[in-house]
Amino acid sequence: MKILKFGGTSMASASKMKEVVRLINKEEGKKIVVFSAFSKTTNTLIEISDYLYKKNVDAANEIINQLEAKYNQLILDVYVDEFYLNEAQNLISSHFQSIRAYTKDLFTLFEEKIILAQGEILSSTLMYLLMKEQNRNVVLIDALSFMRTDKNFEPDSTYIKEKLQKQLDAFPDADIYVTQGYITRNAYGEIDNLERGGSDLTASLIGAAVQAEEIQIWTDVDGMQNNDPRYVENTSPVRRLLFEEAAELAYFGAKILHPTCILPAKLNNIPVRLLNTMQPESQGTLISNKMEKGKMKAVAAKDGITAIKIKSGRMLLAHGFLRKVFEIFENYQTSIDMIVTSEVGVSVTVDNEKYLADILNDLKKYGTVTVDEKMTIVCVVGDLEWDNIGFESKTVGALKDIPVRMISYGGSNYNISFLIKTEDKKRTLQALSDNLFKN
């Protein structure tokens, strides 16, 4: 069994939807196909929810009408058979009616999650109808019948495995099983989601649950690029990545992958292939447990970082100082990304400012606290084992004209990270590309 996940950008028009079906048909053997919402739909559903939170029902209705019209227009070019066009029209009408039902009453997170789920439900059902129209041996299985997160909002892999298997067993002769990415039920049985970009995680969880031979993530670029193509021109694809390298890149901003989607694949040793729907013949990127010795792979950047420095004259020989500092972050359920220490203090970064004021207040008991906001972590990933001499100086050398607030190296064998001002991000990424990847 193979898992094929298609992102929203891969299905942005009728012709792209048909191309996706062609790619699914080309793949031999049984497969589970995971669909994200069509391009921009989730953003629009969030916009609708924002208006409903603000009780601006007119504005919400205007966007709902526009989105519905867009779907109705789209399907005119998708189906040839009147029957399937009718089915699609009815589907769209009923889902938009249910979205409108939430414009009348109290609007909470509960209702928002239901609205956000409509994107994946619509896309997967429309794709399913298209495959049906082409006489494919396909079934649609509802992700809400097997996806579940636990009380810590972590995927419940035992439950997923058991319930998914039941769904598959109900249709033993099917060739293609279609389902939705991103959406799940939570520990209370409510409709929830795996956060933005979470369809990649769905694909990986399903892959792990069925011990798939491969997980394919189809998107709009030729695999993992060696730098962020949104900021740097002429990036090149990285053909092979170790699971750990891919996880570092995803966590530190390579949007092509959801940060947590590598772990289930790695734990089950299932190769992940990143492929391009616009250039299906390209080889893309293969992520596996095979390390390419001595290679610098890629650069990624994560914004929205805050750096906090705690300086204490008493840190010298003061055992327990770091424990006290870390405990404060733990008390406010705020995780730390980067850490650097010196004899007089410690600097850490966080990407969540929710409890920043409280944290700073508590930290002040232990020293002088300074804060730098609007920062970016830039992370260079590859085989950076410390006996591979020269890589550190090459990366540091690339940043000779850029003010660097923190450097972190040695936490893993795969990454060296720099903290810089977000305003310097583009030139930092470019400088790293120029120095590391130009022959």
349 binds ligand ASP (CB under 6 A): no
Cβ atoms < 10 Å from Cβ of 360: 16
220 binds ligand ADP (CB under 6 A): yes
Tell me the residue ranges of DSSP E strands in 91-232: 138-140, 176-180, 183-185, 191-193, 214-219
182 binds ligand ASP (CB under 6 A): yes
Shorter beta-carbon distance to ligand ADP: residue 99 or 381 = 381
CA distance 14 to 16: 5
Interacting residue with ligand ASP among 199, 204, 395, 415 (CB under 6 A): 199
Spatial CA neighbour of 361 closest among 323, 316, 333, 329:
329
8 binds ligand ASP (CB under 6 A): yes
119 binds ligand ASP (CB under 6 A): yes
Q: Which does 119 bind (CB under 5 to 8 A by kind): ligand ADP, ligand ASP, Mg ion, none?
A: ligand ASP
Q: How far is CA 426 from CA 227, 276, 381, 394, in A?
A: 11, 25, 18, 18
197 binds ligand ADP (CB under 6 A): yes
Interacting residue with ligand ASP among 11, 31, 33, 36 (CB under 6 A): 36
Q: Are 328 and 359 in contact (CB under 8 A)?
A: yes
36 binds ligand ADP (CB under 6 A): yes
CA distance 348 to 434: 29
Shorter beta-carbon distance to ligand ASP: residue 219 or 433 = 219
Interacting residue with Mg ion among 119, 155, 197, 264 (CB under 5 A): 197
Q: Please identify, among the stretches 96-104, 196-204, 223-231, 248-256, the one whose residues bind ligand ASP according to the rule CB under 6 A.
A: 196-204
CA distance 272 to 34: 14
Rounded least distance, CB 112 to ligand ADP, Å? 21
121 binds ligand ASP (CB under 6 A): no
Q: How far is CA 362 from CA 4, 93, 347, 353, in A?
A: 48, 53, 15, 15
Interacting residue with ligand ADP among 229, 271, 280, 304 (CB under 6 A): 229
Q: What is the DSSP track for 326-359? A: HHHHHHTT--EEEEEE-SSEEEEEES--TTHHHH
**Largest Cα–Cα distance of the chain, in whole Å?**
79
Tell me the residue ranges of DSSP E strands in 163-249: 176-180, 183-185, 191-193, 214-219, 240-242
Spatial CA neighbour of 428 closest among 409, 401, 410:
401
264 binds Mg ion (CB under 5 A): no
225 binds ligand ADP (CB under 6 A): yes
Q: Please identify, among the stretches 197-205, 214-222, 278-286, 412-420, the one whose residues bind ligand ASP according to the rule CB under 6 A.
A: 197-205
Q: Please identify, among the stretches 5-13, 82-90, 142-150, 170-178, the one whose residues bind ligand ADP according to the rule CB under 6 A.
A: 5-13
Shorter beta-carbon distance to Mg ion: residue 197 or 264 = 197
CA distance 130 to 84: 8
Q: Which residues bind to ligand ADP, rule: CB under 6 A? A: 7-10, 36, 197, 219-221, 224-225, 228-230, 254-256, 298, 300
Q: Which residues bind to ligand ASP, rule: CB under 6 A? A: 7-8, 36-37, 42, 119, 181-182, 196-199
